[in-house]
Structure 1
Amino acid sequence: MPTESPRVVIDLDLPGPTISRHIYGHFAEHLGRCIYGGFWVGEDSPIPNVGGIRSDVVEALRALQIPNLRWPGGCFADDYHWRDGIGPREERPRMVNSHWGDVVEDNSFGTHEFMALCELLGTDAYISGNVGSGSVQEMSEWIEYLTRADDSPMAVLRRQNGRDEPWKVPFFGIGNEAWGCGGSMRVEQFASLARQYSTYVRKHADNEVYRIAAGASDHDYNWTEVLMKSFDKLEAGDGPAGPFQGISLHYYTMTGSWGDKGDATTFTEDEWYIALARAAHMNELLTRHGQVMDRHDPGKRVGLVVDEWGTWWNAEPGTNPGFLYQQNTLRDALVASLHFDAFHRHADRVVMANIAQTVNVLQAMILTDPDSGALVLTPTYHVFAMNTPHHDARSLAAHVIAPEASRTVEGKDMSLLSASASTKGATAHVSLSNLDAAEARTVVLDLRGRDVTGFSAQVLTAAELNSHNTPEQPEAVAPRKLDGIRRHPRGLELDLPAHSYVTVALELGVDD
C-alpha cells in the first residue's frame, strides 16, 4: 500500500496573532567589517555613497523592507560612550574595541551617521544603551539628545552638531548580555539596574520608546523568571508594562562547541542535520521562556525580543578571527527559515527579532569584497526577501502531518518538514522547508475555510548543501519559480526538492 504524501493542514479562515514585521529586524555592531567597509565607506570612497553610507547596501536592504536596525552592539555597546561619536569626526576621541579584534575605533560612525542610515533605509532605530560601563545620566542624556525638540541642553547640543529636528527612536535597549560581556552580573543585580536605567530613558515630546532589558542566554530560564518578577503590577490590566516593556533572548546555532563552532562551508551530512536540529531548538526555547513569562504576565504585556540569533561558525581561514567573517550557505538559509517558523508560531509573545548580523559578520545578509568592492547577496538574504508577505500578517496554524519524514539527530526525533503560514486581506502566504539532505518530497497543502482562486510558488535550493554565493558566482543560490505545484482535492500539491525552502502565495476568495 503506497505511503500517503505528507500534509500541511491550514485553516485559512482562522487567523491568529499578528506576526510583527519587527521579527525581521537586523543588527549592526562595531565588529569587523560590519560598519566600516560594510555600511560605511566614507564620503571620499570611489564606491557610490550618500554621506559616506554605501548606496548599494542601502538599496539591497530597502528591498527587504527591513523594519528595524539594532546598533551599536552587542558587546561593543557596553563599552561605547555616545558623546565620543558626535561632533566633527576629526576631533572625536579614539577607543579600543576590546571585544572584537582589539582594534582602535576612531568613532567616525556615530549617532548622526547611524540615524542618517536609518533614514536612508526607511527603518526604525533600535539603540542599545550602555549599562556595563556607562551611567544613568549618560543614557538619559542620549535619549534626550536623540528625541527632544525644544531648547533643552541636549537638544541644543544636537543642533550645534548639525541636526535641527529630533529623530524618532522607537526602541531602546537597556544593556546587552549583562550576564557576560555586559558586566558579568548576577540577574538580581541587573534586574535592579534595569529598573533604574529604564526609568531615565524618558519619553520626550511624542517619542514613544519601547525599553528592552537585556535578557537570557539560551535556556537560562531563571534569568527570565527574575526579570519577570521585577515588573510593576503586571496583573493590573491594560497599558504598557513598566518600567521596561520587553526582555531579550540570545541564541546561536553551531555544530560544535564555543571553542570550535564548526565550519561554514566544509561540513558533513551529519553536521547538516545537527545544525538544523539545533536551529529548530529555538521553538522549545520560545515555548519555555514563554511559559515563564505567562506565569507572571498572562495578558502578554511584556514582549520577548530575540535580538541576537543565527549561525556562528569558525571565522573564514585567512581572516581576523576577531572579525567573525563567515561564508553563508544553503544550510544557513534553512537555519533562518526554521527560526522564522518558530517566531511565527509564537507571534503572541515574540514582538521583535534581530539576526546577527547584517553585513560581513556572522549570518549576514550581505557580503562585501574588500578588494574588488563587489557586493554579494547571501542565501539568508533571499529567505528574508521571500518572507516579506509575512510582515504584519495574521498568523495561521500550520499542522504538519508527516510521520515518515523524520530523522533522529543527537538522540531526538526531528521532523524533516517545517511550515508556517499567514494571511493578510485576500491573500495568504505559506513557508515550507524540506530539511532532507537527499530526498525530494511531494507535499499536500490541505487548505480549509476559504477558496483558493490563484497560486504561485518560489523555491530556494542549490546543487550542493554547501553552495554559496561569491563575486564570481553571485547567484549560485537564488530563488526561482517553482513549477511543481498543482491543484489537489484537498487544496494544492507541491514537489519540494531536497534541501529546499519554498514559499507559496495564495489568492483567496471572499471571506464569508
Structure 2
Amino acid sequence: MTTGSADTLTAVINLDLPGPTISRHIYGHFAEHLGRCIYGGFYVGEDSEIPNEGGIRLDVVEALRALRIPNLRWPGGCFADEYHWRDGIGPREERARTVNSHWGDVVEDNSFGTHEFMQLCELLGAEPYINGNVGSGTVREMSEWVEYLTRADDSPMAALRRANGRDEPWQLSFFGIGNEAWGCGGNMTAPQYTHLARQYATYVRNHGEKPVYKIAAGANVDDYGWTESLMKSLSGLGGAHAQHTHVQGLSLHYYTHSGPWEDKGDATRFDDEAYYVTMKRARRMEELVRGHAAVMDSYDPERTVGLVIDEWGTWWNVEEGTNPGFLYQQNTLRDALVASVHFDTFHRFADRVAMANIAQTVNVLQAMILTDPDSGALVLTPSYHVFEMNTGHHDANSLPVGIKGTVPTREVEGSEVSLFSASASTKDGTALISLSNLDASSARTVVLDLRGRTVTGHSARLLSAPTLQTHNTPEQPDAVSPVAHTGIREHAHGLEVDLPAHSYVTVQLQLG
C-alpha cells in the first residue's frame, strides 16, 4: 500500500550553493567479451554489410557519441581474469583461439583485441578503462601490457606495438588491478588480494605524460570488511604515509533484480509487486555507497581515493530462446527508472563516487543498445534515454535538494520505500534537475522552490509510457522515448512540475 500525503511536494534548491563536481565518468560504460556485446554488438568485422570502420559498427558509435560517453571498460568482467592480451594482437588470422569459459563456453577467436578496443575508444571519444588479469595472469604480463599501450620510445613493447601497426602510444586513462577477486577473479580472501594488489599495482608504470588511474578490485555488495582491508593496506594507515600511490580507486559491484539469484525475475513480464521490490533493491545503492564511503573516510578523510562502481544495473533472467550464458535481456521503462535513481545517488555522493560503469553497453544485461542478429537493426533502450537526458550533469556542480512535505512511500518487504527521487546540478549559467516518480499508478506534482539566482528560462522533457513493461523493439523503436513535457508552469516560488505515474522528468534552467 502506498502511504503519505497526496499533497504537492516542494523541492528546495539553492542555485547559488554549488557543491562537489559530478564527474562525467559516473556515466561510464562496460563492454565485456560476453554474448553479443563485442561480436555483433560493437564489432561486426570489416566484411560486414553493416557500415563499419575497421569492423566497428558506426551506428553504435554514433548512438553512444550522442550520450557523450566518457569512458569504456574492457575486456571484463570475469573474462578479464582469463584474458591474455598477447592473444589479441598481430594479424587476426594468426591470433590464438581460446575458450570463454565464463560466458557460454564458446570459442574466442580474439579478432577484437587491444588495437580494436583502442580504435573503438578513439571513434567514441571515450577514455579507455582496461581491466588487467590478476586471477590467471602475471605481474610481468600486466606490466608489459601497460608498456605496450603507453610507451613512446623504442622499448621492447613499444617496438612490438609499432610492428603491429601503431606508431604513437595511446593514452590509457584507467587500469583495473583484476576483477571480482572475491569470486570469478580468483576466489581470494581480502588479505590475499590486498597483498597481490600492492604487488601488481607497483608494476603498472606511468610511461606517458598522464598518470594511469589504478583501480583495485573492491567489494561485492555490502562486504565492508573487504573495503577496510584494502584501505588499511593501500592507504598506508593514514597520517604522513598516506600517499595513496598504490591505487587511486576501489571498485564496488551491485546488481538489481526482483527475485533470488537463481531466479532473478523476468525482464518484461512482471507485476506491480515485482516492480516495487525492484525499486527497493535499486534504492539500496545509496545504503551501499554511504557504508563503503564511511569506511573509506576513516582511512582517507580527504577523499583522495575514489569509489568506482564499475558494475551496476539490472540483471534479469535471460530472454527465452537465447543462450543462457549470453545474458541477453530486454529493457523496459522499469529499467530506466532503476537508472534514474542510481544517478541521483551518485550525484549526492559526488565527492566520493569517482566513476561508474553500467553493465553492459550493448546486448547484455541493462544495455543502452540492442542489435537484432537477423536484420542488423539497432534499438535504443529506455535506459539509453536516461543517460542522454542527463548529459547536462556531466562535470557540473551538484546542488542539494531539500524536500518539504510528506514524501509518498510504499511498504515493500517489511520496510518503507520512497517513491520520489531527485537531484540537481549547475554549470555554465544553467541548471539541470532530475525528478523520478516511482509510483506505479499515481501522478504527483512537485513545486521547485528555486532560490539564490534568477531563472531566465526553462524547458522540460518527459520519459514515460503507458505501462512499466513497455519497451522498444525494431518494429516499435520509440515506444519509450523522451518528449517535450508540457506539464510545467511558473509558480510563486519558481516552477511547478507535473509528474505522471512511473515517469522520469528533467528540467533545464537558464540562469541569470
Equivalent runs, 1:441-456 vs 2, <5 Å: 441-456=444-459
- Report Cα offsets for 1:58-117 as digits up to 9, x if no partner: 000000000000000000000000000000000001110000000000000000000000
Contact 2:28/2:70 (<8 A) preserved: yes
- Counterpart Cα distance in 1 of 2:329 and 2:255: 14
**Structure 1 segments unaligned to the other structure (5+ residues):** none
SS of alignment partner, residue 302 of structure 2: coil
**Are the equivalent residues in 2 in contact too, given 1:330–1:379 (CA < 8 A)?**
yes
Contact kept? 1:239, 1:301, Cα under 8 Å: no
Q: CA 1:238 to 1:68, structure 2 compared with 1: closer, same or farther past 3 Å?
A: farther
| 2:413 alignment counterpart | 410
* Match of residue 123 from structure 2: 120
Task: For 1:281 and 1:3, locate their aligned partners in 2 and report how far apart those are by CA, in whole Å.
Answer: 25
- C-alpha displacement at 1:208, in angstroms? 1.3
Q: 2:495 aligns with which of 469, 492, 508?
A: 492
Partner of 1:387: 390
C-alpha distance in 1 between matches for 2:495 and 2:128: 41
CA 1:305 to 1:268, structure 2 compared with 1: closer, same or farther past 3 Å? same
What's 2:184 paired with?
181
Query: Which residue of structure 1 lines up, in the alignment, with residue 232 of structure 2?
Result: 229
CA distance in 2, matches of 1:18, 1:67: 15
- State the AA in 2 paired with 1:372: S
Residue deviations 1:391-410 (CA, integer Å, cap 9, x gap): 00000001233425111111
**Offset of 1:507 from its aligned partner?**
0.7
Contact 2:235–2:299 (8 Å) recurs in 1: no
Moved over 4 A (4+): 236-240
Give the residue type in structure 1 aligned to 2:287.
Answer: E
Give the 3-state SS of the residue equivalent to 1:309 in structure 2. Answer: strand
Instruction: Tell me what 2:200 maps to.
Output: 197
Report whether the alignment pairs 1:330 with 2:333: yes
Q: Structure 1 residue 215 and structure 2 residue 214: aligned? A: no
Deviation of the 1:233 alpha carbon = 3.5
1:146 aligned onto 2:152:
no
Check conservation: 2:313, 2:359, Cα contact below 8 A: yes
Secondary structure at 1:229 match in 2 = helix
1:459 to 2:458 alignment: no
1:263-274 equivalence runs, <5 A: 263-274=266-277
Matches within 5 A, 1:495-506: 495-506=498-509
Indicate the SS of the match to 2:46. Answer: coil
TM-score normalised by length of structure 2? 0.98
TM-superposed CA distance for 1:241, in Å, is 1.8
Candidates 28, 33, 38, aligned match of 1:35: 38
Aligned to 2:300: 297
What is the CA distance between 1:414 and its match in structure 2? 1.2
**Is 1:44 the equivalent of 2:47?**
yes
Q: Deviations over 1:325-358 (max 9, x none)?
A: 0000000000000000000000000000000000
RMSD: 1.2
TM-score, normalization by structure 1: 0.98
Cα pair 1:396 1:422 within 8 Å, conserved:
yes
Amino acid at match of 2:69: I
The 5 Å alignment of 1:132-143 reads 132-143=135-146
User: Where does the alignment leave 5 or more consecutive residues of structure 2 unmatched?
Assistant: none
How many pairs are equivalent? Answer: 508
The letter of the residue matching 2:217 is A
Are the equivalent residues in 1 in contact too, given 2:309–2:353 (CA < 8 A)?
yes
Q: Is the 8 A contact 2:407 2:420 kept in 1?
A: no
Aligned equivalent of 2:366: 363
The answer (yes or no) to whether the contact 2:267–2:329 under 8 Å persists in 1 is yes
CA shift for structure 1 position 3: 6.0
Displacement of 1:207 = 3.2
For 2:183 and 2:206, how far apart are their aligned partners in 1?
29
| In structure 1, distance between residues paired with 2:131 and 2:46 | 26
Distance 1:400 1:376 in 2: 37
